[in-house]
Structure 1
Amino acid sequence: MRLLLRYITSDPTNPHPETSADEVKRVLSELGWLPTDAGFAAAKLAEIIEHLPGTIRAQVAGAEPILISTRPGTWGIVSHENSRRLHIRLLHDDLQTLREEAEDVVRQFPEAFHVAFRRDLGFEADVVIRRFDSEERMVAGKVQDVRDYGFWRYLKRVRRREFLTMTTLFVLTSLSVASSVLIFSLWSSHAFDYWRGYLDRGATAFLTATLTILITMILEYRAWSNLRVRIKWAFE
């Protein structure tokens, strides 16, 4: 399988000179993604390009492709196929590994590029995973900048199921408390005291569950927001 990311190096509102292959290699070297054996890298790159689908083979080969390895067993190609864009293709047989590597790339590469060139315009939103030897699409995603996601937006957009559960529990807590207060105010008998006890215990249980989920979501949000950039896949 192959995954394609497009990194923006310049745009009409932020015009910059095109980055050369040597400049790109410097960024990749800082990340530790360049193979150390130049002869092996050249042979491996030629092998990978040879097995690419014919629709993109010549395009990649003519765009000063650079072989990368983001982790042992995961290969990739960085090429300058269009002006103002760097194409980063990751290759692996395992879908989950590709997803994990893509998440790392969208966080690490912009930081390294910014250190080298003092600019970071980010990735294009669309991410696609296709079969290695054809254009058959397997899964798509969107690159998201999560730096402007507040906690409640995170709950509503990213953890919607937990948000709905918390809302339901909060409503049940409120209804239980209101019913208990109403019974206490209007009626006084052993029978009503019996029901009020059940309502009080129910309200306590609902409130405890709500607070437990809320605290868990706050802790998860803190870790999630530190990522700054992530990929939301179509099946999430």
Structure 2
Amino acid sequence: MKASKLIAAVVSGAAALALVGGIAYAMEPDHDPATLPMPEAAQDTSIVKQVVSIIVYEDQEEAVAMASEFDDIHDELAMDAVSSRASLSAKHSASHDATAKTAASAGDATPESAIDVEAVDVTEPLETISPEGDEMVADSIDVNGDIVTYVPSYESASAPASGAGLWMGSDSTTDGSWGYFIGHNPGDFTCVMTLKNGDPVTVCDSDGNTRTYSVVDEFIVPDSTYWEDIQSRVTDYGESIILQTCCGDNAHYRVVIAA
């Protein structure tokens, strides 16, 4: 009898536990599968995704490196141009001083009565006493004091051997449009390498009209660049000029816009 009662009690207990568990399971709310955490095993570890990520990262890294390289080249070339310009200026000053000293010595030996003094027109004194060579003529560009003449050079493969060339557009200073000038560096367009934002550039066009522009943008591009690559960047300033020259490394061009 005792054994039978014990077995009955165990069976009754198990039945009670099953009943309680069933009720608890039935009362538990349903979970939205979208709110459940992603199992580790189900996370995307696709080798394709990893490879694509690496390629994208390397492309970005290469682009940053190229941009840094262009900045370094730009700074180096600009510094070289400034140094070259300073050296040329020093030589020019020394030559000018020597010429002035020679002229002064010759003047000391000349009797005062023999000196021919040119009369000065007091109504326009500055124009009268301006030294020859400093005045602009038609078809010329003044870049920070360096006056360079230019000739038609429409869509030519290279700049003229000396001076500058009007490569595209118009040289008119009054038509509200742009003109694209090219020249060599080393050469007559070395002065373009020293230009910076705000610097003046004066053009005396083929009609003799003069206009002074200010630099508004400048950049360096590889020598493999096409006109279509920069057209929209350089032609949206209305009345303006674009100056282009070699950077001196046989690999890049410097482009300057003044408006």
What range is the shorter-chain TM-score in?
under 0.3
- Whose radius of gyration is greater, 1 or 2? 2
Structure 1 length normalisation: TM-score? Answer: 0.25
Task: Tell which has more relative contact order, 1 or 2 (C-alpha 8 A, sep 6+).
Answer: 1
Structure 2 length normalisation: TM-score? Answer: 0.24
Higher helix proportion (structure 1 or 2): 1
